[in-house]
Amino acid sequence: MDLAINGARVLFEIENVPLLGTVQITQTLTVSWLVFAIITGLCIWLGKGLTVTGISRKQAVSEMIVGALVNFVRGNMGTEFDHYIPLVGTIFITSVISNLISLLGIWSPTADLMTELAWALVVFVLFWALKKPLTKLVSKLLFRLLNMKQQWISKEDTGTESNTEKEKGLASDSFKRACFNWGIGRELYTAPNIKIKPEDCTSLKQYGDRWKCFDTFEVQKIIIEQKKIVALAIKNTKSGKTCFVHQDAKWRKQQEVKANA
């Protein structure tokens, strides 16, 4: 038994296309353009003359189609994925018309596996890659890179979402971890537990059982040795008073020895 497998015919070729070389225009491509034109014309026709009251039968059909599409997406994916309604509707309508057009004796684009592959790639990228906020992808892929001495070097790590502005917190945490992997800012993890006494605050208010200080503070002096904070002084910018002093015991002893030498 002879078995013949025929794909979409090549109608004509466009040669010497920049970057692409020879481009083949197939039945799938031309009929897809026809399907797009039909869908575009249909949308323009259904979208004309829309009113709030006294709607026409055409508008009633349009609203019924949109309502059914919205219910389908929300019923399967939830309201948080409403932004995918146009994508789902586009693929569904394109698929229906592409299959029905074969009843006219015209080649159906869905008979070409490349059509399904293209749809699958679009769905994969939008539903899985972009399902997470873009900032999350950026934080995982881009914020791992640090430009040092005009050379791109990378360290892999990712952050976690914060309680407020979670996308921004995630990106910030990811960049901080990437810096930490290269030794940048590691000494900050050796900082002491900073506590300010109430008498060092000029603007202190009570909220229930808790007190809150509205002053601003800044680092007055900091000494870092061997990637460790050995001395730290914090001052109140409002009063100019030094309100916190920390000295590492070993470092302080070394300074005393040097002073007595």
- Write out the chain's pLDDT in tens, 261 residues: 454 456 677 787 888 878 778 888 888 888 889 999 998 998 888 888 878 777 888 888 888 888 888 888 888 877 777 777 888 888 888 889 988 988 888 888 888 888 888 888 888 877 766 655 444 544 444 444 444 444 555 555 555 555 666 666 666 777 777 676 666 777 777 888 888 888 888 888 888 888 888 888 898 888 888 878 889 899 988 888 898 998 888 888 888 888 887
Let me know: does 31 contact 89? Beta carbons within 8 Å: no
Give me the phi and psi of 118, to 5 degrees please: -65, -45
**Residue bearing tokens 């491509």:** 29
pLDDT tens profile 4-13 = 456 677 787 8
pLDDT tens profile 153-165 = 555 555 555 566 6
**Residue bearing tokens 């599409």:** 69
The amino acid sitting at 95 is S
